[in-house]
Chain A
Amino acid sequence: MILDSKIPEGPLAEKWDKHKFNVKLVNPANKRKYDVIVVGTGLAGASAAATLGELGYNVKAFCFQDSPRRAHSIAAQGGINAAKNYQNDGDSVFRLFYDTIKGGDYRAREANVYRLAQVSVDIIDQCVAQGVPFAREYGGLLANRSFGGAQVSRTFYARGQTGQQLLLGAYSALNRQIAYGKVKMYPRTEMLDLVMVDGKARGIVVRNLITGKIESHSAHAVVLATGGYGNVFFLSTNAMGSNATAAWRAHKKGALFANPCFTQIHPTCIPVSGDYQSKLTLMSESLRNDGRVWVPKTVEIAQRLRKGEIRVSDIKEEDRDYYLERKYPAFGNLVPRDVASRNAKLMCDEGRGVGASGLAVFLDFADAIKREGQPAIAAKYGNLFDMYAKITDENPYENPMRIYPAVHYTMGGLWVDYNLMTNIPGLYATGECNFSDHGANRLGASALMQGLADGYFVIPYTIGDYLAQNPTTKVTTDHPAFKEAEQAVIAKNNQLLSINGTRTVDDFHKALGLLMWDYCGMARNAEGLKFAKQEIRKLRDEFWRDVKVTGVNEELNITLEKANRVADFLELGELMVDDALNRNESCGGHFREEYQTPENEALRDDENYAYVAAWEFTGVGNEPVLHKEDLKFENVKLTQRSYK
């Protein structure tokens, strides 16, 4: 298989405009003859469904939540980047492109990232026109802040609820199309398989989560906007329902899965408090603009603190190690996420962690409060401080927050070309569910940007190019391919329901999560990865022998829903390990302990690993086949990332 990224010819800055001119258009009168399925209604899905509806296509949109408004994009806090240069501080499309490529540790495609930076400016215009209430200055114009390691202020935000406001904007656009009848919405409906006819994606099989009914839907193209796979780790900042099932089952039908080992561990989350923990809560990265990260200078002081012999306030200024400021004077507390996370782990590994478990570092606002006053800090971060107080029962205005890294985002995902089409004709992947824009590490405030860029401004053009070259002829769901897929889904559900073992689905999920966190988390090595692969296989075998799923298919069955998702995580986890084992270098969020500089920084191997690893499924338990897409850098020079 030859991976054709379909990157247009020509200078970087002209590729997208030229491509938009070169794509084939669908005659306005013909658009209504094409059906498009969009799975997922977060930023990438809702924006795509709404825009495709506006253009005149018949859209069917699906989400597993009770309403499209609840997709997990809603929980994004910090902001959305755009190269508007409203602050006159030297930002430009090229600078956003450059920062994103560099932040991703040179493992993303130049052309895709440049296009992302280009359309970023249109996103802000679109959202404001929808009535999204971004933060404003007293003069009435939009406010910006610097975010996540950027040295310009290009982040637009709506307090700590930017994702919510952007999603409600996309939801409103979607609602308008639903009202017009151009989008038919199917909430509480989960995609369980992709259906292909003559080698092209032509529909999906879904389960109605209320009645359990297995149904098919056909279309001329299928867009997956189903988010990331961070819940492989059980504990993550993802929503409880976030899952990889749609993308994984498409992978099993032939779609390549790219860079699965690139997962982002976010540095500022509330630490784990007990075995019952069901998820981890993110504290926005924006807190690092004013908060200072530190641990006690010596192991001895840290031990006394953990034992409760001394209090935080007893630790003298000279006994505090503001390690990010010390090691990275240029970026200080604002280093990218992978760097901040890895350093927190290093401090804790040295025995200088805080909190009862020793798995936490301080994020301290004392200086900021002294400098700006408590009301100013409350105005900026009030809702985050409240959330912290609610969860931990501690007052962050008086004591420093305790934070620790947690799984947050997955840069890997379905392989797509420049048009966001997977290697299966007619199957597209947008937003977090594809691999395309963030390389080995995503910068803060770039996920919202990518989701909306893909949905509002990329897929509406590129999907037309595909549809224009395909006949309007419909396939019905009576086609044998649909019946076969339905039968397979039913058989799988029946199998899960009939095992009647002794261990719960959560039990398996937690065991998998622990394996992934310990061996394929913030630091990896070949030995650990090989061990994890064996353990995951054993766990998967045991799952299919001993899982307990109660009830029947024909009802609202929360255990069956989970069992399907965890069954897929048990397969995907192994692929993540395979990918991490294959990549004999460290880059971004992928840190192989064998490959580091003397200063413990990630040591890339551009000569041998400047490629996208796209994996082909060959059966459960079989070794996947690796396909490489070489990354060509013509506009940036590959350098060792330095934030010093």
Chain B
Amino acid sequence: MDLTLKVWRQKNRESAGAMVTYPVKGISPDMSFLEMLDVLNEDLLRSGQDPIAFDHDCREGICGMCSLYINGRPHGPERGTTTCQLHMRHFNDGDTITIEPWRAAAFPVHKDLVVDRSAFDRIQQAGGYVSINTGGVPDANAIPIPKTIADKAFDAATCIGCGACVAACKNASAMLFVSAKVSQMAMLPQGKVEAKTRVENMVSQMDVEGFGACSNTGACAVECPVGISLENIAIMNREYLSAKATSENIA
């Protein structure tokens, strides 16, 4: 396959960026999207040009590091797929493909397609945990959890923290990301003890980071590569309202 790529190039956080066009030739349909970019980068290097910086690591769809906005969609055209698991067979010979970084005020661009997602870490630091130390915990089977609840909590826990939900949202809202952790913890007995302060603190940090408000378009859930359900946002809203109504937050 021969393709034309239009790629966002930006030297660093302070510089202005621009779209740059690159032709790529001889792409195999069995290549992953990132392997296609590897081929381009090798060509750029050989001709002495700066290769395109993009985040990636596991290339198995689980680490959440890859993050490309392909033809106007986070992680590209395939549903339920991260960029690293997107294969070139989903494109046609002669296609023009635009590749941009995540666009959100809370995700500043480091370089080219690499963005700063540390805001996500800070939201987790605001309360995405159970406050227990190592050791001195009860036997694992002393906390029975109905299978249906455990499975539902698991579904929420599979969020890979890639940020596609934010990139997909016209408001750059992080509600799907935050709600996945809040509802996982709210469903489990281990998380119930701190449920109120957790949701209050995480939502408050989300606002501090500059993410937008949620207007329930559902674009986030459509683009989520691991299928985090919109229901989590409803659960978080309920948790948030009841927490605020009876707030004990001393933080």
Contact with A550, one of B34, B50, B151, B154 (Cβ below 8 angstroms) = B50
Chain A residue contacts of B64, Cβ below 8 A: 69-70
From B50, B63, B146, residue with most partner A Cβ within 10 Å: B63
Check A69–B161 contact: CB distance below 8 A. yes
Asked, given contacts A51-B134, A142-B140, A559-B51, whether A179 binds B45 with beta carbons under 8 Å apart, the answer is no
* A621 to B190 CA separation, bound complex (whole angstroms): 55
> For chain A residues 11-62, which have a beta carbon within 8 Å of chain B?
47, 50-51, 54
Check B65–A65 contact: CB distance below 8 A. yes
Instruction: State how many residues of chain A have any CB contact under 8 Å with chain B.
Output: 80
Q: Say yes or no: is A297 at the interface (Cβ < 8 Å to chain B).
A: no
Chain A residue contacts of B161, Cβ below 8 A: 67, 69
Check A74–B58 contact: CB distance below 8 A. yes
Asked, given contacts A171-B124, A387-B85, whether A125 binds B129 with beta carbons under 8 Å apart, the answer is no
Write the chain B residue with the least CB distance to A76.
Answer: B62
Chain A residue contacts of B141, Cβ below 8 A: 86, 141-142
Check B147–A138 contact: CB distance below 8 A. yes
Q: Say yes or no: is B31 at the interface (Cβ < 8 Å to chain A).
A: yes
* A171 to B120 CA separation, bound complex (whole angstroms): 12
Chain A residue contacts of B117, Cβ below 8 A: 66-67
Q: Say yes or no: is A266 at the interface (Cβ < 8 Å to chain B).
A: no
Asked, given contacts A133-B150, A391-B85, whether A124 binds B140 with beta carbons under 8 Å apart, the answer is yes
Chain B 42-54 near chain A by CB (<8 Å), digits 1 or 0 = 1001101111010
A262 vs chain B, min Cβ distance (A): 23
Chain B residue contacts of A550, Cβ below 8 A: 45, 48-51
Chain A residue contacts of B164, Cβ below 8 A: none
A198 vs chain B, min Cβ distance (A): 32
* A559 to B112 CA separation, bound complex (whole angstroms): 14
B117 vs chain A, min Cβ distance (A): 6
From A129, A138, A273, A278, residue with most partner B Cβ within 10 Å: A129
Check B128–A175 contact: CB distance below 8 A. yes
| Count of inter-chain pairs, beta carbons less than 8 A | 209
Write the chain B residue with the least CB distance to A548.
Answer: B45
Chain B residue contacts of A131, Cβ below 8 A: 130, 153, 184-185, 188, 190-191
Q: Say yes or no: is A598 at the interface (Cβ < 8 Å to chain B).
A: no
Write the chain B residue with the least CB distance to A552.
Answer: B50
Chain B interface: which size bin? 35 or more
B132 vs chain A, min Cβ distance (A): 5
> For chain B residues 35-75, which have a beta carbon within 8 Å of chain A?
35, 38-39, 42, 45-46, 48-51, 53, 55-65
Chain A residue contacts of B81, Cβ below 8 A: 390
Write the chain A residue with the least CB distance to B81.
Answer: A390
Contact with B140, one of A128, A179, A556 (Cβ below 8 angstroms) = A128
* A127 to B135 CA separation, bound complex (whole angstroms): 10
Q: Say yes or no: is B133 at the interface (Cβ < 8 Å to chain A).
A: yes
Chain B residue contacts of A65, Cβ below 8 A: 57, 63, 65
Chain B residue contacts of A66, Cβ below 8 A: 55, 65, 116-118
Chain A residue contacts of B53, Cβ below 8 A: 556, 558
Check A130–B190 contact: CB distance below 8 A. yes
B121 vs chain A, min Cβ distance (A): 5
> For chain A residues 503-552, which have a beta carbon within 8 Å of chain B?
504, 506-507, 548, 550-551
* A210 to B118 CA separation, bound complex (whole angstroms): 13
Write the chain B residue with the least CB distance to A141.
Answer: B141
Check B137–A140 contact: CB distance below 8 A. no
Check A136–B145 contact: CB distance below 8 A. yes
Check A137–B147 contact: CB distance below 8 A. yes
* A159 to B64 CA separation, bound complex (whole angstroms): 18
B30 vs chain A, min Cβ distance (A): 5
Q: Say yes or no: is A456 at the interface (Cβ < 8 Å to chain B).
A: yes
Contact with A504, one of B45, B121, B125 (Cβ below 8 angstroms) = B45
Contact with A130, one of B12, B87, B130, B153 (Cβ below 8 angstroms) = B130
Q: Say yes or no: is B126 at the interface (Cβ < 8 Å to chain A).
A: yes
Check A140–B139 contact: CB distance below 8 A. no
Check A75–B131 contact: CB distance below 8 A. no
Q: Say yes or no: is A393 at the interface (Cβ < 8 Å to chain B).
A: yes
The stretch of A160-168, A336-344, A367-375 that contacts the partner chain: A160-168
A154 vs chain B, min Cβ distance (A): 13
Asked, given contacts A67-B120, A75-B63, A551-B50, whether A133 binds B188 with beta carbons under 8 Å apart, the answer is yes
Chain B residue contacts of A631, Cβ below 8 A: none
Check A456–B134 contact: CB distance below 8 A. yes
Check B125–A179 contact: CB distance below 8 A. yes
Check B58–A75 contact: CB distance below 8 A. yes
Check A393–B89 contact: CB distance below 8 A. yes
Check A126–B135 contact: CB distance below 8 A. yes
Write the chain A residue with the least CB distance to B185.
Answer: A131
Chain B residue contacts of A178, Cβ below 8 A: 121, 125
Check A136–B150 contact: CB distance below 8 A. yes
Chain B 98-136 near chain A by CB (<8 Å), digits 1 or 0 = 000000000000110010111011001110111111110
Q: Say yes or no: is A274 at the interface (Cβ < 8 Å to chain B).
A: yes
A371 vs chain B, min Cβ distance (A): 23
Check B60–A504 contact: CB distance below 8 A. no
Asked, given contacts A126-B137, A133-B184, A187-B118, whether A393 binds B126 with beta carbons under 8 Å apart, the answer is no
Check A176–B134 contact: CB distance below 8 A. no
Chain A residue contacts of B12, Cβ below 8 A: 555-556
* A428 to B34 CA separation, bound complex (whole angstroms): 36
Q: Say yes or no: is A596 at the interface (Cβ < 8 Å to chain B).
A: no
Chain A 94-135 near chain B by CB (<8 Å), digits 1 or 0 = 000000000000000000000000000010111111110111
A498 vs chain B, min Cβ distance (A): 14
Q: Say yes or no: is B143 at the interface (Cβ < 8 Å to chain A).
A: yes
Chain B residue contacts of A68, Cβ below 8 A: 121
Check B145–A161 contact: CB distance below 8 A. no
Q: Say yes or no: is A312 at the interface (Cβ < 8 Å to chain B).
A: no
Contact with B154, one of A124, A133, A140, A506 (Cβ below 8 angstroms) = A133
Q: Say yes or no: is A450 at the interface (Cβ < 8 Å to chain B).
A: no
B11 vs chain A, min Cβ distance (A): 8
From A136, A161, A277, A559, residue with most partner B Cβ within 10 Å: A136
Check B154–A75 contact: CB distance below 8 A. no
Q: Say yes or no: is B158 at the interface (Cβ < 8 Å to chain A).
A: yes
Write the chain B residue with the least CB distance to A139.
Answer: B144
Check A125–B57 contact: CB distance below 8 A. no
Check B154–A159 contact: CB distance below 8 A. yes
* A161 to B60 CA separation, bound complex (whole angstroms): 11
Chain B residue contacts of A555, Cβ below 8 A: 11-12, 111
Check B132–A130 contact: CB distance below 8 A. yes
Q: Say yes or no: is B171 at the interface (Cβ < 8 Å to chain A).
A: no
B33 vs chain A, min Cβ distance (A): 11
Chain A residue contacts of B11, Cβ below 8 A: 555
Asked, given contacts A66-B55, A67-B161, whether A278 binds B129 with beta carbons under 8 Å apart, the answer is no
Q: Say yes or no: is B235 at the interface (Cβ < 8 Å to chain A).
A: no
* A126 to B65 CA separation, bound complex (whole angstroms): 27
Q: Say yes or no: is A90 at the interface (Cβ < 8 Å to chain B).
A: no
Chain B residue contacts of A556, Cβ below 8 A: 12, 53, 110-111, 114
Q: Say yes or no: is B5 at the interface (Cβ < 8 Å to chain A).
A: no
* A279 to B121 CA separation, bound complex (whole angstroms): 27
Check B87–A390 contact: CB distance below 8 A. yes
Q: Say yes or no: is A466 at the interface (Cβ < 8 Å to chain B).
A: no
Binding site for B on A (CB under 8 A): 47, 50-51, 54, 65-70, 72, 74-75, 84, 86, 122, 124-131, 133-142, 158-159, 161, 163-165, 168, 171-173, 175-176, 178-179, 185, 187, 210, 239-241, 273-274, 276-279, 281-282, 387, 390-391, 393, 456-457, 460, 502, 504, 506-507, 548, 550-551, 555-556, 558-559
Q: Which are the 10 A-B pairs with shortest beta-carbon distances? A: A140-B144, A172-B129, A129-B137, A133-B154, A128-B140, A239-B57, A556-B111, A51-B134, A179-B125, A175-B125
- 11 cross-chain CB contacts under 8 A: A67-B120, A75-B62, A125-B140, A129-B138, A131-B153, A133-B153, A140-B147, A176-B125, A239-B57, A276-B28, A504-B45
Known: A66-B117, A67-B118, A278-B59. 16 other contacts (CB 8 A): A70-B58, A70-B63, A75-B60, A122-B135, A128-B137, A133-B184, A135-B150, A141-B144, A158-B154, A161-B62, A163-B62, A165-B154, A178-B121, A276-B39, A281-B59, A387-B85
